Structure 1
């Protein structure tokens, strides 16, 4: 099967699907294993899959269910299939003369026989009765007792006024299946009708058995209706194995040669080579990008002898089974299952396409001058020791320049930390499987909210249209080392785990002990220049276990627990709560801003008399507050909670 350059059901070229994918066909809405069809290989499409017949759907067809008239393909319209009665919002075929519509699932199947002269479920002949004919006579199926099932179209006995689902007529009381040719499978209306010793899961796909099921008492063999309707096939996949692979439909423990993990049922097997593989591991992509590594990684049938640790789950990788590794980083390896997880892989196969070159965020003018993409003027570098006043902020991270090297514009007040000036234009981040692009906020006065730390911010951001994160969280890489903990931390999406400091979601976790951090705490500034309560820099301390006695915060004049994190001045010994130093507007440039229909500006809270918050009626203690205007009256807000409540 060749690449499908033009498809009636998708706006990108479709590639042949060489692996089993459990998902939903975007043409007919069928959920199950799809093999031998097509998939989209465009970034952002998420690897959308199509049955072969759906991907190759013609603009016009003749169908035996509606002889005499052509049916034309249409898309994205809510309708009910005239044959099966299912409601759809996808593609379908319609007759321009009659009010007849057909979904793609029914279109690729032959129409049921109009008359069954000797049905297995009834003594009289049965006539096909489309759903539109019996809507007013909502009579349950005589076999299963349900009004609706996979197919709403029914057969009807005119003499007895009885109805029968097509599925029930087809399979009741028993039917043969290619995966179990030895005996016929009984049609059981529900799992409870099966013997008590029967397995609770389909022996082929491993999904929970619902209703009805198909069972063999002699062999204790049970499969679901989905697998009964779509028998698994023998497979030839040259990217996986040199010989044809055959299904072994039985309970059998095995180790998959492709991924190195164990299985318990229905592997595919090559007798010549003693090769065994999971169904879902057939046709694993050869070359891919994952979000935890900067280079492409490639599938290899064997890493060879050695000690390998997975770059995703950080567990051991057995080198004698299939895995992924990086040609540029000899020690980097990933389990096949970990690399192809939906939250890690961008669902695009890269084999045969050149690797993208990294584009620098600026043009070098000379050894001291650059032209950065974010600014209209040239920027000159300032070396260590040239300390700016604390009111000068970096245009990317909106934080104080301090004593770090920085770039400065000689024509205006724009400045950048050197580390911020070198931020890559495109990067992969652990929080999403799609790459993120560096850009300024869409308007100078627009506030964004970081997806990871939930901080409001202005300046630069990384975004892919779905997620937006600030450049502090965007700089995250593994392993993450923090002064509060002796072990490295790694990103995890276990949202039920709490941060060890603030009890928020602890997405940065330790493999060696029960310690977790959230992004907000993990990226608190280690040093804060002058604060209204001290003229010296404040340093972040991550708790002192051996300290006793009572301590008080200089800002709010409330007790401070020295065993928790706090800011302090190494010269004066001043102590402040984290919440009294870092607030909702800390990472925002002073000046006009707009967010959630609130017009105003971020201002420094440096006056001798602190402003009173309009919402909570408490004097604002944080260095930055929001100043708003309503009906000519000035309002002050100390936090985002007060601003947006």
Structure 2
């Protein structure tokens, strides 16, 4: 479908026939929306409108204000509806007098202001715009009426009623069950034989509308907003689809997964589909693959594995595939997950040109990187004397080891060869939006969203300002880690496993066994060149389960658990905790960086190490924080210690 220009939104809107469970931006209705409009611009993809709200006219004449025309008011400051008292941003306003209407009242869909006669109560009920204080319960369903929630109220008896309870009590008809009226029942009054879930949407019922003749039960949300009895969805099927409102086991032809209630059915070809799968997008980008993927009704026979969940894909049902990578396929449900898909439909949109390289090649040893004004020269660092001064990469703020790097002959700008090659734009499995490389961040301090470490090198940032350091931002799946024989994949589970090394949230998970790693442990450097306690390289060891003796850390002089990870020197046997080598708060912060509160990061490479003024221990790491107040200089070794000393007078 083509995009439509409408006055209610700054971007053209895309019509849809999909079921979305998000609030309408226009009228603020919270529930599922079928057949409306959505914004298809990156960063604005959550904007959703009912069809009626999106097609609101620029000017109307309304019977509630017959003297003057009302003009559409768009995304202005919050206003109050003159009819119902609800605050709104999209609605209508009179330019002559102070009269305003929200979209619901303007369209005539708002509830009546007064219920003179009802089956609810003997007195008239007035629409009330939210309780000011106290906890009150609806007189019908006995559930809470929230302070900000519109309700009906009897001022004589001080009773309140939900809008839906007032509208459909005690009986009402419904399009999905036209043969009988549905009775309103509370959870306590529900018959034992009745289903505890809504027949149409499957949510657990707290109150319901029930037919005791047919044992038909639905929730109040489906009662007030009935799903269409027939739909047309050219993306997923060529014929009209009809709702089958009953409990039945079926396999969805669009996604290949099981369903248990109320599918949409094609009478001509025995096609069944979940309502959530209607109108699946044809062409999309996902964060687990570099190319666009395309919806296909059938993959055909083959040994297919999903690129997101890595489970088998049945080729005789709908799925997504890549036209450039013949073996890459994704389940329909996996591809359209909120954490995988960027929510932008790309059908009819030309593909973007391939990304330009992050540097221009001058000659075989010289490049011009986009982040720096001068040319950078390649230095082959193999066999380098590790006793010379350690340099820090501008991008990842980690030492230049024995690998090749680029350096500037005119200033102190250094990049690992691998950091010089990181792309300027990148998809990442942790977020559904793309990331852009920001190289102007070296003078600022950020916290990486994944490893939670502070840093001031290059960063990857998304449109909603999620920040990743270049180590985490450059990571991909599968992660092959030397500590484990199986590949590790990113997991965004709500209740993830704990990291097998440190116990924090483990996002890299093994599909074959109970093993996981967090980003901090999973991306620890395997080798550290030159440390104050040893002139040789320190290598990351993943524990020695067969050792019976005790290990002692050379830095803090406390015991090291040999079954845990540690750094060691293969030449002289020095053992160090990970936290004593490179796991501290300031590990990825460049010395000489200045932060507020009269503090700066300084190098801690002298023979005499300062004592932290808070925890009274020798600062072990190569960077410490120097705090100056009232001509007194103190040192702290962590952000926790800095928080204790920041507002202290010396």
**TM-score relative to the length of structure 1:** 0.90
Between stretches 356-365 and 235-244, larger displacement belongs to 356-365
193 and 326 in structure 1: CA distance in 2 versus 1, 3 angstrom threshold: same
Cα deviations across residues 303-346 of structure 1 (Å, max 9, x unaligned)? Answer: 11111221111211111111111112222111111111111111
Match of 2:106 in 1: 107
Distance 1:390 1:199, change over 3 A: farther
CA distance, structure 2, for counterparts of residue 280 and residue 329 of structure 1? 28
Deviations 1:89-109 (A, max 9, x none): 442334456665432233323
Alignment CA distance shift 1:185-1:377 (3 Å): same
Contact map agreement 1:447 1:593 (CA 8 A) in 2: no
Match of 1:320 among 294, 316, 321: 316
Paired residue for 1:375?
A: 372
Q: 2:255 aligns with which of 235, 256, 259?
A: 259
Is contact 2:113–2:127 with CA below 8 Å preserved after alignment? Answer: no
Counterpart in 2 of 1:292?
288
Q: Which residue of 1 aligns with 2:217?
A: 222
Distance 1:254 1:392 in 2: 63
Which is worse superposed, 63-72 or 199-208? 63-72
Which among 161, 172, 176 is matched to residue 173 of structure 2? Answer: 176
Q: What do you get for the CA RMSD once the two structures are aligned?
A: 3.1
Who is 2:512 aligned against?
512
List per-residue Cα deviations over 1:539-584 (Å, max 9, x = no partner): 1111111122122111111111222111111111111111110122
Q: For residues 416 and 573 of structure 1, what CA distance do their matches in structure 2 show?
A: 31
Structure 1 equivalent of residue 226 of structure 2: 231
Q: Judging changes above 3 Å, is the alpha-carbon distance between structure 1 residues 146 and 84 closer, same or farther for their aligned structure 2 residues?
A: farther
Instruction: Select between 463-472 and 419-428 the one with higher mean Cα deviation.
Output: 463-472
Equivalent in the alignment of 2:396: 397
Partner-residue secondary structure (3-state), 2:394: coil
- Alpha-carbon displacement from aligned partner over 1:575-625 (angstroms, at most 9, x marks no partner): 11111101222212221322xx34433333222211111221211122222
Q: Could you tell me how far 1:354 is from its partner in structure 2? A: 1.9
**Residue 60 of structure 1: how far off its partner (Å):** 2.7
- Unaligned residue ranges in structure 2 (runs of 5+): 645-650
User: What's 1:281 paired with?
Assistant: 277
Determine if contact 1:83/1:153 at 8 Å carries over to the other structure. Answer: no
Structure-1 residue corresponding to 2:363: 366
Q: Which residue of 2 aligns with 1:593?
A: 594
Deviation string, structure 1 residues 38-75 (Cα, Å, up to 9, x no partner):
00001012332110111122233233444444333333
More displaced 10-residue stretch of structure 1: 200-209 or 426-435: 200-209
Asked if 1:307 is matched to 2:303, the reply is yes
For the residue of structure 2 that corresponds to 1:628, the secondary structure is: strand
Partner of 1:387: 384
Would you say how many aligned residue pairs link Structure 1 and Structure 2? Answer: 631
Matched position secondary structure for 1:642: helix
- Higher alpha-carbon deviation: 93-102 or 550-559: 93-102
Structure 2 vs 1, CA of residues 372 and 514 (structure 1 numbering), >3 Å: closer, same or farther? Answer: same
| Matches of 1:637 and 1:162, distance apart in 2 | 60
Specify the alignment match of 2:435 in structure 1: 436
Partner Cα distance (1:315, 1:180) in 2: 39
8 Å CA contact retained: 2:285, 2:291:
yes
Q: Any idea what SS the aligned residue of 1:615 has?
A: coil
Partners of 2:150 and 2:43 in 1: CA distance: 34
Deviation, 1:152, is 3.7
User: Cα offset for 1:264?
Assistant: 0.9
Question: What is the match of residue 465 of structure 2?
Answer: 466
State whether residues 384 and 403 of structure 1, in contact with CA within 8 Å, keep that contact through their aligned partners in structure 2.
Answer: yes
Structure 1 161/438 Cα, relative in aligned 2: closer, same or farther at 3 Å?
Answer: closer
Does the alignment pair 1:445 with 2:443? yes
Q: Secondary structure at the match of 1:407?
A: strand
Per-residue CA deviation, residues 429-473 of structure 1 (Å, 9 max, x unaligned), is: 11111111111243x432221111111212111111421111111
CA distance in 1, matches of 2:163, 2:639: 59
Gap regions ≥5 residues in structure 1: none
In structure 1, the residue matched to 2:648 is: none
d(CA) in 2 for partners of 1:163, 1:606: 70
- Which runs of structure 2 are paired with 1:48-59 in the superposition (5 Å)? 48-59=47-58
Residue 7 of structure 1, CA deviation? 2.6
Distance 2:355 2:184 in 1: 59
Contact 1:441–1:460 (CA<8 Å) still a contact in 2? yes
The equivalent of 1:198 in structure 2 is 194
Q: Which moved more, 1:33-42 or 1:358-367?
A: 358-367
Superimposed CA distance per residue, residues 527-546 of structure 1 (whole angstroms, 9 cap, x where no aligned partner): 11111111111111111111
Kindly state the Cα deviation for residue 221 of structure 1 after the two structures are TM-superposed: 0.6
CA-CA distance at 1:627 after TM superposition: 2.1
Cα pair 1:496 1:505 within 8 Å, conserved? yes
User: Which structure 2 residues correspond to residues 487-506 of structure 1 after superposition, within 5 A?
Assistant: 487-494=486-493, 495-506=495-506
**SS, match of residue 501 in structure 1:** coil
Between 1:609-618 and 1:490-499, the stretch displaced more is: 490-499
Which range is displaced more, 103-112 or 427-436? 103-112
Deviation at 1:355, TM superposition (A): 2.0
Q: CA separation in 2, counterparts of 1:545 and 1:152?
A: 65
Report the Cα distance in structure 1 between the residues aligned to 2:427 and 2:635, rounded to whole angstroms. Answer: 39
Question: 1:208 & 1:246 partners in 2: Cα distance?
Answer: 24
- What SS does the corresponding residue of 1:24 show, helix, strand or coil? coil
CA distance in 2, matches of 1:141, 1:546: 66
Distance 1:568 1:77, change over 3 A: same
d(CA) in 2 for partners of 1:218 and 1:553? 76
Q: Check conservation: 1:457, 1:587, Cα contact below 8 A.
A: yes
**Cα pair distance change 1:515/1:144, threshold 3 Å:** closer
What CA deviation, in whole Å up to 9, does each residue of 1:394-440 have, x standing for no partner?
Answer: 11111111111111111122111111000000001111111111112
Equivalents in 2 of 1:453, 1:112: separation in Å? 50
C-alpha separation in 2, matches of 1:556 and 1:146: 58
Alpha-carbon distance in structure 2 between the residues aligned to 1:164 and 1:542 = 62
Within 5 Å, which residues of 2 pair with 1:511-550? 511-550=511-550
Distance in 2 between residues matched to 1:168 and 1:42, nearest whole Å: 38
Residue 637 (structure 1) shift: 1.5
- Provide closer, same or farther for how the CA distance between residues 192 and 363 of structure 1 changes in structure 2, counting only shifts above 3 A: same
Paired position in structure 2 for 1:455: 453
Q: 1:543–1:243: structure 2 CA closer, same or farther, 3 Å change rule?
A: same
Deviation at 1:168, TM superposition (A): 5.8
Paired residue secondary structure (2:468): strand
Partners in 2 of 1:452 and 1:225 — Cα distance? 40
Report the secondary structure of 2:333's partner residue. helix
Displacement of 1:162 in angstroms is 11
